[in-house]
Amino acid sequence: MSKTAILYRMVTDEHICPYGLRSKDLLEREGFSVEDHHLTSRKETDKFKEKHGVETTPQTFINNERVGGYDELREHFDKGEAGQTGTTYTPVVAIFSVAALLSLAFQFAVSGDFISIRTLMLFIAFSMTLLAVQKLQDLYSFTNSFITYDLLAMKWLRYGYIYPFIEAYAGIGMVAQLPALAVAPFSLFIGTVGAISVFKAVYVDKRELKCACVGGDSNVPLGFVSLSENLFMIVGALIMSLL
């Protein structure tokens, strides 16, 4: 016998509830045939909530018993909590992975080779540029996190606002192969200050902080991965100076 679930979710001209869509998808992946009922107005939605004594929609019913909303439905199927929870390195891993693939693709398109010292330089440059974009999305949020551990930003708050622009400039300059004197000093400076700041905060002061490397709202812990961003900048500057 096929399994059937009844789902009530809000679908209006102004709003389609994302958790209703997620509930429907989860039910179908669990092998249920879904009786999908749309609540097409705020009045209809409020009437449904009042009738069933609930505060939110969507609501799922299985075997004539109310399971609840999306979170309760996940719990019913022994699924973990939805979304990312706690600290995570996922944003940094994603950026470094994309930067690495971009570097290989760019180098292959230009020279027909995948691996060279130029590939490493491109990886550093793309990583810096992508990380800078994350910071530039919300400078206020970024600086709120950055000034809690960066030694220079603590003393001169404006540096926190300038930092992402310098990082982006250095990364783009490396891709464009600008003269070393025009790029390397900037990369070396922010990389060195950043590395010292992170090392002091994490390994000397033993502070547990969130890293601002991918923006101020991230749950990336301040640590070795954060330090790697600064080390990349230093290495990139040295490579530019030596080539």
Residues 6+ apart with CB under 8 A from 94: none
d(CA 71, CA 220): 24
Residue 104 vs residue 115, higher pLDDT = 104
From the number of C-beta atoms within 10 Å of its C-beta (0-12, 13-18, 19+), residue 106 rates as: middle
- Parse the chain into domains and list their residue ranges: 4-77, 89-242
pLDDT above 60 for 205: yes
Q: Which residues pair with 59 in a beta bridge?
A: 8
What are 46-91's pLDDT values in tens digits? 999 999 999 999 999 999 899 999 999 999 999 887 766 656 778 8
| Ordered DSSP codes for 188-217 | HHHHHHHHHHHHIIIIIS----B--TT-TT
Task: Assign 35 a pLDDT band (cuts: 50, 70, 90).
Answer: very high
What CA–CA distances, in Å, run from 143 to 5, 76, 114, 140, 213?
48, 41, 37, 5, 10
Look over the chain and give the mean of its residue pLDDT values, rounded to a whole number. Answer: 90
Task: Assign 121 a pLDDT band (cuts: 50, 70, 90).
Answer: very high
Check residue 86 and give its pLDDT: 59
Check residue 211 and give its pLDDT: 83
Q: How many CB atoms lie under 10 A from the CB of residue 227?
A: 19
Residue 112 vs residue 197, higher pLDDT = 197
Check residue 122 and give its pLDDT: 94
Check residue 1 and give its pLDDT: 54
Check residue 22 and give its pLDDT: 95
Task: Assign 33 a pLDDT band (cuts: 50, 70, 90).
Answer: very high
Check residue 167 and give its pLDDT: 95
C-alpha triplet 169, 90, 114: angle, nearest 5°: 60
Name the least confident of 21-35, 89-103, 220-234: 220-234
Check residue 100 and give its pLDDT: 95
Check residue 76 and give its pLDDT: 94
From the list 171, 170, 166, the residue with the least C-alpha distance to 125 is: 171
Look at the domain 4-77 and name its fold. Glutaredoxin (3.40.30)
Check residue 161 and give its pLDDT: 95
Tokens 């600290």 — which residue?
87
Check residue 224 and give its pLDDT: 78
Segment 164-179 shows an average pLDDT of: 95
pLDDT above 90 for 115: no
Give the sheet arrangement for strand 65-68, strand by strand. 32-39, 3-10, 59-62, 65-68
Check residue 241 and give its pLDDT: 86
Task: Assign 214 a pLDDT band (cuts: 50, 70, 90).
Answer: confident
